[in-house]
Structure 1
Amino acid sequence: MKNSLAQDKPIYMQIRERIEDQILNDQLKEGEQAPSTNQLVNFYKINHVTVSKGVNQLVDEGILFKKRGIGMFVAQGAKEKLIQQRKKSFVEDYVVKLVQEADKLGITEDEIYSFIKNVRGRELE
């Protein structure tokens, strides 16, 4: 886990997203203990309240759960819940805008598919 944070997004959101990414990448599996608030505070050298805000959002959404006196753990079904949330955000943040811009430019669905295939092909090189 890298300990540098971006300036363009609230820190608590970045902490939250990094924990989510660890779950999605199977670095943190369901039932496993997540990093403690104190560990995150020390690692990132940031305020405890900031870390708590990001972690508590994950608790509120059922991604993490607390065991009193022991720590935070990844909830059962957390990965699937995150995948569904991210897919929904992906459509809202990218696909809707892509389709709107394609419509303005008269780009067909076939052309969009071709563009995507070309981009994916470049990534494999």
Structure 2
Amino acid sequence: MKKKLDENRPIFQQIKEWVEEDILEGKLAEGDVIPSTNELAKFYSINPATARKGIQALVDDGLIFKQRGIGMFVAEGARRKLMSLRKEKFYDDFVRPLIKEARRIGMEPEEISEMLNKGVEKE
């Protein structure tokens, strides 16, 4: 999980995003233990409270759970939940603006679909 800290963004948010990415990419599976807040704090030379804030955000989102005295683990369905959230974000961030612009320039749904299919084939 060694990633470089971005000084321009909240560190707790970066910790949260790194764990989410590891879950999405399958590096952390359901039931896998995640590093403790103290391990994260030591590894990144940050305050344990900062690491705890990032981990707590994951707990609040239902992506990980704590077992007192044992550790923190990836929750059942975490990857599926993250995928769903990311798809919603993708729709809001990319699809809605695409549709808005397409309407503005008079594109029909078939044209949009054709353009997307063509783009997918190229990539």
Give the TM-score normalised by the residue count of structure 1: 0.83
Q: Secondary structure at the match of 2:66?
A: strand
Q: In 1, Cα distance between the equivalents of 2:42 and 2:57?
A: 20
Instruction: Quote the RMSD (CA, aligned, Å).
Output: 1.9
Determine the structure 1 residue equivalent to 2:107.
Answer: 107
**Equivalent pairs: percent with the same residue?**
46
Tell me how far 1:75 sits from its aligned partner: 0.9
Determine the structure 2 residue equivalent to 1:85.
Answer: 85
Tell me how far 1:84 sits from its aligned partner: 1.4
Determine the structure 2 residue equivalent to 1:49.
Answer: 49
Moved over 4 A (4+): none
Determine the structure 2 residue equivalent to 1:72.
Answer: 72
Unmatched 5+ residue regions in structure 2? none
Tell me how far 1:91 sits from its aligned partner: 1.3
Q: In 2, Cα distance between the equivalents of 1:47 and 1:84?
A: 32
Tell me how far 1:7 sits from its aligned partner: 4.4
Q: In 2, Cα distance between the equivalents of 1:120 and 1:47?
A: 44
Paired AA for residue 82 in structure 1:
L
- Residues 65/122 of structure 1: CA separation in 2 closer, same or farther (3 Å cut): same
Provide, for residues 50-74 of structure 1, a one-character-per-residue CA deviation record: whole Å limited to 9, x for no partner: 2211110111121111111121101
Paired AA for residue 17 in structure 2:
E
Determine the structure 2 residue equivalent to 1:36.
Answer: 36
- Give the number of equivalent residue pairs: 123
Instruction: Say if 2:6 is the partner of 1:6.
Output: yes
